Structure 1
C-alpha cells in the first residue's frame, strides 16, 4: 500500500488503537467486535467503474424497543435508560494528501456514569468499538482499491500528473434517526467519490439495558415472518400497479402480458433472520433490501415500513 496515501488514515487508526476500555469490560467488548467482524453482511457490493460514484455504510443501533406485548413483558423490570444515553461526535477530522481528501465524523455513544447500569456501559463500549472498527475496515478497503487502481492506471499508460488531476473523496458522517426514552437509532454513512461504487449496509439493533441485540421477532412478535412478508408483498404489489416506473424481480402489474419471470431466484418471497431493518420516527421497523437484491439497480435500496401490531 502506498505509504504516502496511508498518512490520511493515521488518525482513524490511532483513535481506534488508543480507545480506553476498562479492564472489566475488555473481554466482552473484544468478543462483540470479533462477532461483528465475522457477521455475514449480505448487503455488500463492489462494482468498479470509471465514473464519480458514492458508497454508503448504514449502521443502526436500536436500544430497548418497547414495541410489542411480548417484548414489553421482557423489559417490564428494566429501568428506562434513554435519558442517560446520548450520541456525540467522538472523533472528527479532515485530511488532504495529494488528490485524496478524507472527512470523518465518528459517533460515540455515551452513558451516564452514575445512573447507567453495568449492562448499558458494556453495550455502549461494544457498540463504540464496533463503529470504529467498521470505519477503519472500510477506509482500509477503499485505500486498497485506490492503490490498485492507481497501479493499473500507471501501468496502462497513464501519467502521475494525470492521476493527480483526479479528485478522490472519502467521507464518513452520521445522523441520529430516532431517539426517545427507550430507543436510539443511529445512521452512519460512508462513501467514496472517485472511480468505484461500493455500498455496504450494516444494521445493528441493541438493547442497552439487557445488553443484547434485538430482532424483528422482539418487535413484531412470534409471527414476525408472516407479518413482515405480507406487508412487504402488499407494498410491492401496490407499487408495481400504481407506478409504471416501479419494478421488482418477478412482480408485475395487473394485466401484464409480457414474459413471465416470476420464478426469478431474486424475487422476494420471505425475510430471514439475517434481513436488515431499523426503526423509523414512529418506532416501526423499516425492513431494508440492498440495491440489486430484489429490484433493478435504478430502484436503489428498497425499504418497507412494517406497522407494529396493536398491543391491545
Structure 2
C-alpha cells in the first residue's frame, strides 16, 4: 500500500471510534435495531443494518469457497465431552480501501461420547447446535452479497471483523459469542450470545432461570438502572439514556425476553446491550452483572 493511501486509511480508522452520528442518523439506527428485535421474536436473528453518513454495511462471513478457508477441529477446555468447535470459515482480505478479518466457529456434538451417556440429551443437543449454526449461516447468506457489491465502490474505506469467542464455560452452561464489527467513517459492533444448558442440551432462555410468574424482568431492570445511575455519577464521560426528557422514547425502561445475556463463572447473570441500545454509540457495547442477592429469591 502506498504511503499516502496508508495515511488516509489510518486517518479513517482513527475516526471509527469518534461519535460522529447526528440525531437523525441515530434515529435511523434505532429504527433498524427495533426491526432486528422484531425479527428475533420470529426466531430469526440478524445483524442490524446501521445507517450512517458515508457508512457501508460490511458485517461479513465470506462463503465457503475461498482457498483461504481452513478446516480444523478445535478442542476447548471446559466443554467436556458433549460439545466441540470446528473452525469452518477463516478469511482475510486487504487492499487499499478494504480490510476483512473473519474467523467463525460452529458447534458440533461429540456423538461417540454423547450417545453413550444419554441418547435423548445428544439428540436435543444436536438440534440446538444445528439451530445456532443455522442462525449464523442465515446472517452469512444475507450479508455476503452486500459485501461483494460494496467492494465495487471506488471511493471510501471499510473495515470488518467477524469472529466467535467462547466467553464462559461451566459444568452446566456454555456460551458462544458472535462478534461483528464494521467501520466506514464510523465504527459499530453488534454481538450475539448463544448459551446452551449442558444438562438438558437445550438453548437457554432468560425465563428458564426463574420461578414461573416471578417479576424477573422488573427486578433485573431496576438493578440495571441503579448501576447506570451509579456509573454516571462516578464518571461524567459515562452516559446512558435514562431519566432523560430529551430522548424520552429511548430511555431504558425494562429488559425483554429477547435481551442478550449469559451466565459468568460465578453463576451471575450478565445482561448485554449492543451499541445504541441504552446509550450513545460512543459508549460501545455494555454489560451489567446482576449480583446474586438481587435475584436470589426468584431464581430456580
The TM-score with structure 1 as length reference comes to 0.61
Q: Deviations over 1:61-120 (max 9, x none)?
A: xxxxxxxxxxxxxxxxxxxx8432122322323345785443321102122212322111
Residue aligning to 2:289:
305
Residue aligning to 1:20:
none
Q: State how far apart, in whole Å, the 1-side matches of 2:246 and 2:40 are.
A: 35
Change (3 A) 1:187 1:144: same
Say whether residues 1:270 and 2:254 are aligned partners: yes
On the 8 A contact 2:250/2:278 being kept in 1, the answer is: yes
Residue aligning to 1:238:
230
Q: Deviations over 1:19-43 (max 9, x none)?
A: xxxxxxxxxxxxxxxx969547697
Once the two structures are overlaid, the 10-residue window that deviates more, 171-180 or 301-310, is: 301-310
Say whether residues 1:112 and 2:110 are aligned partners: yes
Q: Deviations over 1:156-191 (max 9, x none)?
A: xxxx5xx4xx65443322211011222111122233
Aligned-partner SS, 1:170: strand
The CA deviation at 1:127 is 1.9
Aligned-partner SS, 2:282: helix
Which of 44, 49, 52 aligns to 1:48? It is 52
Map 1:244-259 → 2, pairs under 5 A = 244-251=236-243
Which of 119, 127, 140 aligns to 1:122? It is 127
Q: Deviations over 1:254-293 (max 9, x none)?
A: xxxxxx6288121112112222222333332221223223
The one of the two structures with greater contact order (alpha-carbon pairs below 8 A, sep at least 6) is 1
Rg bigger for which structure?
1
Residue aligning to 1:201:
191
Aligned-partner SS, 1:91: strand
Q: State how far apart, in whole Å, the 2-side matches of 1:218 and 1:242 are.
A: 34
Provide structure 1 residue ranges, at least 5 long, that are not aligned to the other structure. 1-34, 58-80, 151-159, 252-259
Q: State how far apart, in whole Å, the 2-side matches of 1:115 and 1:224 are.
A: 36
Q: State how far apart, in whole Å, the 2-side matches of 1:282 and 1:56 are.
A: 33
Q: State how far apart, in whole Å, the 1-side matches of 2:143 and 2:271 are.
A: 23
The CA deviation at 1:204 is 3.4
Provide structure 2 residue ranges, at least 5 long, that are not aligned to the other structure. 1-38, 62-78, 115-121
Which of 206, 222, 225 aligns to 1:216? It is 206
The CA deviation at 1:124 is 1.9
Aligned length: 233
Say whether residues 1:225 and 2:223 are aligned partners: no
Aligned-partner SS, 1:181: coil
On the 8 A contact 2:59/2:143 being kept in 1, the answer is: no
Say whether residues 1:290 and 2:288 are aligned partners: no
Q: State how far apart, in whole Å, the 2-side matches of 1:54 and 1:134 are.
A: 12
Cα RMSD, aligned residues only: 3.7
